[in-house]
Amino acid sequence: MKHYMLLSLLLALWCVPGAPVAQGGMNEGSCEDASAMAAAGLALSEINLDRTEGYVFALHRLSNVHTAQHGENGMVFYLTLDVEETNCSVHSKKDWKACQTRPPSTPVYGQCKTAIYISKVHRVVRLYKYNCIVRPVPAARVIRMCPDCMFLTSTDNPKVQEIVALSLEKFNREGGFSKPFTLLNVNRASNSAWFSRWDFRVEYTIQETTCLGTGPCPLLGCGFSRKGFCQAHLSSRDTDTSVDCEIYEPECSERETKGRVRSLPAMGQMVILPCRMSQPRIDVRVTLSLKQDPQIPGQVEPSILPFPKVVSANCFPAPAGETLVENLFFEDPMFKKWWAIWTC
């Protein structure tokens, strides 16, 4: 059903008007064009569905567009998307439009570069590659804006680990499932402190095990094990940890993902990466059209070109804004020089 919902958005696409040739047969597109915006929404939905860890991304703005015609009816879009993290786990498979972005005090923001092929006539949407970089808001900016607001903290914090253990034990005891769940990953933690008061919120993912009693608990096999996303809370005013978990039905997929998401430290913190600065992974090689298109009879797949190194003349830099996220996109040097991405 979700796939059909995505395909229905193709109705918003129309032919892209003529534009200057950028490189190797690409055309510069407009970030205000309705077809490019529709392609950006489809691309982000496909990226979120492809990912196996983290949170659903929502579209903040489209910041670069290039296109390449394929056949009479197809188009490859090379897009740069400014994104924000939402409160939905990728395991939920929810569409990004149904998710809320993070509160202004704890946003995670970044950019995704993606190549996506769309044929409206054949009702085909095919994500080829993507590369995302995200980073959290600097804690100092949050404290300056709102001293008693929640701000991100290390998931290795002993209090965070304690809250995870207590809340998961509580869920397994009271959740009503015959088999217990075990911790997969602590996704994020935030806290606030004001004089003698403190407040912690922790989010983590869990997976069902084979246990029927005590002892070591192996995970259930692929396709049989449910996963969950939990939110736990404990403050200095509470006597017990609260926990709320969403449980998702088993899903088995051994496919190779089409891209990656890299998390960097907040702006202003040192980034130490033992590699050189180069183009994103999607730039490394051209995917040649040497095989039959799996969805369109009599047509080969499109060639995926190296990602463009220039910003389209019809797309403009992120302006300064009223919200913290808008100002971070405006100030962050990582996204001003959006083509310079660290890759290993």
* pLDDT-derived band at 14, boundaries 50, 70, 90: very low
- In this prediction, residues 224-243 reach a mean pLDDT of 92
Least confident of 29-33, 38-42, 240-244, 253-257: 253-257
| Of residues 291 and 113, more confidently modeled | 113
Q: Model pTM? A: 0.85
What percentage of the chain has pLDDT greater than the value 70? 82
3-state secondary structure 18-48: CCCECCCCCEECECCCHHHHHHHHHHHHHHH
What pLDDT sits at residue 194? 77
**pLDDT at site 151:** 85
Considering the chain, what is the average pLDDT of its residues? 84
* Backbone φ, ψ for residue 330 (5° rounding): -70, -40
For the segment(s) 145-248, the CATH number from 3.10.450.10, 3.40.50.1010, 3.40.1280.10, 3.50.50.60 is: 3.10.450.10
- Cα separation, 75 vs 285, in Å, equals 19
Please report the pLDDT score of residue 20 as a whole number. 43
Q: What is the pLDDT of residue 96?
A: 97
Residue 66, H or E segment: strand 55-70
Q: How far is CA 202 from the centre of its chain?
A: 19
Can you give the residue ranges of every domain in the chain?
2-138+266-342, 145-248
Q: Is the pLDDT of residue 170 over 60?
A: yes
242-248, strands of its sheet edge to edge? 151-153, 181-194, 197-208, 227-235, 242-248
187-193 average pLDDT score: 91
Query: Which residues lie closer than 8 Å to 243 by C-beta, 6 or more apart?
Result: 167, 168, 170, 171, 230, 231, 232, 233
What integer is the mean pLDDT of 88-111?
92
- Which pLDDT score, from 0 to 100, does residue 289 have? 55
- Written out in words, the top-level CATH class of the domain with range 2-138+266-342 is alpha beta
- pLDDT for 66-93, tens place per residue? 999 998 889 999 999 999 999 999 999 9
State yes or no: pLDDT of 46 exceeds 60: yes
Q: How does pLDDT run across 307-324, given as a tens digit for each residue?
A: 998 999 999 988 888 888
